[in-house]
Amino acid sequence: MWLEKISSPADLADLDFDSLDILCEEIRDRIIDTVTVTGGHLGSNLGAVELTVALHRAFESPRDIIIFDTGHQAYVHKLLTGRQDQFETIRSENGMSGYPNRAESPHDWVENSHASTALSYAFGISASLALGSEPEVGSSSSSAGDKSARRVVAVVGDGALTGGMAYEALNNIGHARSKTIVVWNDNGRSYAPTVSRLSEGLTKLRLHPSYMHARNKISRVISDLPGVGPLATSGLAGLTTALREAIEPKVFFEALGVRYTGPIDGHNIAEMEYAFKGAAEWDGPIVVHVLTQKGRGYGPAETDEVQRLHDLKIPVTSTDSSKKRYSYTEAFSSELLELAAKSPEIVAITAAMPSPTGLLAFQKSFPDRFFDVGIAEQHAVTAAAGMAMGGL
């Protein structure tokens, strides 16, 4: 087994890509075997296996600072940084934390469990290094006197990019030309509506009368083609969507002064390693966009359309329903449905947490009265006040 031979990220350098593929399978097996017993964040970690391996091959942790936004997807990072013997204790009393923990390892730079914060941490650490400050953790003799060569890497999921704090930080990173590498882990769950709404320039272009006239004319001509019209029209729509999704992120990030590269296959270690090493040479902020599959390698997670088994509260192998206790969340959900059926003025708001807050049933029953505002708690609270002012 390769995993048991990895005591630090430096050991990854000795493996060829075929061996790395085997290592990734072993990591997934270890995470599945553990998390289905202890509970924890399964889907997000299964999707980040190759990504984390590539990060630790391209960068020299802890000399290079790697920060995981939210931190729930850091299980692979823990397995690669000397904590395999503690892994089965994850999220248990006196056991290993389910999030990065500075007391556990010098490879863990921040103790976080909230989304959208990593870019601010990265900006601050980059600023301190630029001013010649000595870091509190993660220092090593190899970095002494060579702070200019150190890299600051923030790994951010698409869900975290629904939080305004991430864009406040990104704005500052671009303005200050902060030498920060942003790895955008895009598993397709949140990114499209977030980035598209913020790409105002391209939105205006798509709504411009000349563009609309030309597009409609082309569509009519193609649809009238004998025999192939409908198929060609469908192909044009698909091509337009693909081009838009390829162009929009680049335009958005670079408008903020942050270079963009990607998208890259987030399960191809060689491609990511090449991109990360290239990003390390860029003299300024850069986003590396990687596409991953949440829950990859585990059937129940891949087919869970709602959460990809994002967070397991109980073992997924449990089948004895008589042992299940009626939780507070379930009681709240049931009562809310009854009240909402009688009172049309009742609405529900969540900050990207419909399942943990017990609002999935409400969303299904009353979709027009359900609001998921993303990871934007300030907006959620103030919007709720506005709804109350409006009579809801």
Domains along the chain with CATH numbers? 3-302 (3.40.50.970), 325-389 (3.40.50.970)
Q: What is the mean pLDDT of residues 339-344?
A: 92
At 357, phi and psi to the nearest 5? Answer: -90, 0
pLDDT single digits (tens) 99-129: 888 888 899 998 877 788 889 888 888 888 8
Both tokens assigned to 2: 């390769």
pLDDT single digits (tens) 165-204: 888 889 889 988 988 999 999 886 443 333 334 434 444 4
Total number of residues shown for the chain: 392
- pLDDT computed for residue 17 by the predictor: 94
CB-CB contact of 36 with 301 (8 Å): no
3-state secondary structure of 34: helix
Q: Are strands 181-186 and 286-291 parallel, antiparallel or unpaired?
A: parallel
**What count of other Cβ atoms lies within 10 Å of the Cβ of residue 328?**
9
Q: Percent of the chain at pLDDT above 70? A: 73
Is 223 exposed, middle or buried (CB count within 10 Å of its CB: 0-12, 13-18, 19+)?
A: middle
Distance CA 187, CA 44 (A): 9
Distance CA 99, CA 40 (A): 10
Give 362's pLDDT tier (boundaries 50, 70, 90).
Answer: very high
List helix spans (H) across 224-315: 229-255, 269-280, 299-302
**What count of other Cβ atoms lies within 10 Å of the Cβ of residue 136?**
11
CB-CB contact of 267 with 296 (8 Å): yes
Distance CA 391, CA 369 (A): 13
Distance CA 256, CA 249 (A): 11
Q: What pTM did the predictor assign?
A: 0.73
Q: Residue 158 is inside which H or E element, if any?
A: none
Single-letter amino acid code for the residue at 215: R
pLDDT single digits (tens) 40-78: 778 888 989 999 999 999 999 999 999 999 888 888 999
Q: When comparing pLDDT for 258 and 298, which is higher?
A: 258
3-state secondary structure of 286: strand
How many angstroms separate the Cα of 134 from the Cα of each of 108, 127, 144?
Answer: 16, 11, 9
pLDDT single digits (tens) 11-20: 999 899 999 9
DSSP string computed for 301-324: HHT-TTTSS--BSS-TT---GGG-
- pLDDT computed for residue 142 by the predictor: 45
Neighbouring C-alpha atoms within 13 Å toward the C-beta of 387: 15
Contacts of 61 (CB under 8 A, 6+ apart): 9, 55, 81, 107, 138
For the four alpha carbons of 364, 369, 373 and 377, in that order, the dihedral sign comes to: negative
3-state secondary structure of 176: helix
Distance CA 112, CA 141 (A): 27
CB-CB contact of 71 with 102 (8 Å): no
CB-CB contact of 106 with 60 (8 Å): no
pLDDT single digits (tens) 138-164: 444 444 445 457 899 999 988 788 788
CB-CB contact of 91 with 79 (8 Å): no
Q: When comparing pLDDT for 311 and 79, which is higher?
A: 79
Is 390 exposed, middle or buried (CB count within 10 Å of its CB: 0-12, 13-18, 19+)?
A: exposed
Instruction: List for the chain the helix, strand, coil content (%; round to 5).
Output: 55, 10, 40
- pLDDT computed for residue 348 by the predictor: 92
- pLDDT computed for residue 156 by the predictor: 92
CB-CB contact of 167 with 118 (8 Å): no
